Amino acid sequence: MNFDKLLEPITISKMEVKNRFAMAPLSNLFATTNGEVTKRTLDYYATRAKGGVGLVIVEYSYVQPEGKGCIGTMLGCYSDKLIPGLSDLARSIKENGARAALQIAHAGRQTFPEFTETPHIQAPSPIPLPGYPVPKEMSLEEIEKTIEAFGKAAQRVKLAGFDAVEIHGAHGYLPWSFVSPITNQRKDK
């Protein structure tokens, strides 16, 4: 088998990547409790970029405080105040030879109020995940605000200098919950 193709550049939309190796997003939990980038975060991703991978996809970054997952030290992209740290992160990856992408996400029903610091967790329908509290069915206004939060998060990612955005729509998180008839039993639009 010829693996030479893996070392060839590839163009994804308008982004040229030096090879076909990508680091998939993997939460390392090095952020602050407010979702801010830390020196440890910068060092971790700079080291991965130095290793020769063509694209580094940075871990789950929550688009709203109520979308934070079940871990206290996840990255956030929910506020403009986080842009400077995210800029440092994108720059550290790119200066070390890789393209930089950031995964944006909302945990939906896969979290607990103590992590989100909100009175309830959100989902399309009040169907709990085993071991989790019953989520509050999102109002149409909350859904619109969340859609807007994804858009604003993507804008922040771009302003921070990342080359791409990945929307985390798997593993039962909020986007997936809207697609599945098991977790979305709404009768409205």
Contacts of 174 (CB under 8 A, 6+ apart): 67, 105, 106, 107, 108, 109, 122, 123, 146
User: Is residue 41 within 8 Å of 89, Cβ to Cβ?
Assistant: yes
> Which neighbouring-strand residues pair with 60?
103
Query: What per-residue string of b and e applies to 111-120 under the rule 16 or more CB within 10 Å gives b?
Result: beeebbebee
DSSP state of 27: -
Is 173 one of the annotated active-site residues of the chain? Answer: yes
Is residue 60 within 8 Å of 25, Cβ to Cβ?
Answer: yes
**Residue 29, phi-psi category: left (phi > 0), alpha (psi -120 to 50), beta (remainder):** left
**Catalytic pick among 45, 60, 78, 173:** 173
Question: Contact 97/18 with Cβ under 8 angstroms?
Answer: yes
The residues assigned a catalytic role are: 173
